[in-house]
Structure 1
Amino acid sequence: MKGKIIGGICLLVFFAMIYSCQSDSSIEYSRYYSAGAVVYQSHCQNCHGDKGQGLNGLIPPLTDTVLFKGYNNKLACQLKNGISGKISVGGRNFEGTMPALDLSPIEMAQVITYITNSFGNKQGIFTDDQVQNALKNCSK
């Protein structure tokens, strides 16, 4: 019994040491990413799929790493205003409508961070401030 308690304490200390070694930016990224996963699951996953694969020729995938490079500002506007018409993703054309989502700027930042760092993408954090700046330049 004492061995289990001591082992548990050692394990707890080990994880505390690992967590304390993370930088502030790493912790902030983790918060945005994990919260973004929740936003994605409740607002995006039903159409774009659990792995960002999209839906055949109807809904575009979120796996085009070339498209997402430097695309964060546009994503913020698309989340706010929705998308309609023809778009090209990964060399394939899609035509339809994505409705505007009623998300706060922080939720947008979180889901953009999640999308642009999942499904083969690696773009880093996109903050609430960056979303608010991007939204100022949206055209409807």
Structure 2
Amino acid sequence: MKKAWVIFTTLLAVIIIAASCQNEQQIEYTRYYTGGKLLYQQSCQNCHGSKGEGLSALIPPLTDTAYISKNRTKLACIMQNGMSGFISVHGKMYDNKMPPSGLSPIEIAKVATYLGNSFGNKTGLISVEQVEKDLKECK
């Protein structure tokens, strides 16, 4: 009986360790997402809300998964340069100026990863390399 218990405990430990291991991409995603959440709370939450709900008719929500997915490559430019002019989100028009964030490319990548995977969005990791590429394409 004691031998069976030792085998069971050892097997269980191996399964738990194997299940908790993450590959490099999962670790990188977790690092970006966690850092992005903190940066979002510090830099974006005041206007866009803790749940990405926006602010009534003034500030658009970040919960429109179609808008975020469609504009994934524009997120970096919007964060770096700000935004003005009309924008349609969830079929509602907004015309309030968003100031530049003042974030570095790595910080933008982290916030973009957080936004892209929160509030109903699922875009995956947005790396600093992708952000740097997207920033070169800003108009």
Measured against the shorter chain, the TM-score band is 0.7 to 0.9
User: Following superposition, which runs of at least 4 residues in structure 1 exceed 6 angstroms of deviation?
Assistant: 12-15
Cα deviations across residues 80-109 of structure 1 (Å, max 9, x unaligned)? 110011110010000110000111100000
Instruction: Report the identity percentage.
Output: 50
Q: Displacement, 1:17? A: 4.7
Q: Within 2, Cα distance between the matches of 1:52 and 1:13?
A: 40
RMSD, aligned CA: 1.9
TM-score (norm 2): 0.86
Whichever of the two has the greater Rg, that structure is: 2
* Structure richer in strand, relative to its length: 1
Residues 1-140 of structure 1: pairs in structure 2 closer than 5 A: 17-20=18-21, 22-139=22-139
Q: Within 1, Cα distance between the matches of 2:70 and 2:89?
A: 15
How many residues are paired up?
129
Q: Within 2, Cα distance between the matches of 1:72 and 1:17?
A: 33
Unaligned runs of 5+ in 2: 1-9
Cα deviations across residues 6-32 of structure 1 (Å, max 9, x unaligned)? xxxx9x998755432x11111111000
Q: Displacement, 1:72? A: 2.0
Q: Within 1, Cα distance between the matches of 2:16 and 2:100?
A: 41
Q: Within 1, Cα distance between the matches of 2:98 and 2:43?
A: 11
TM-score (norm 1): 0.85
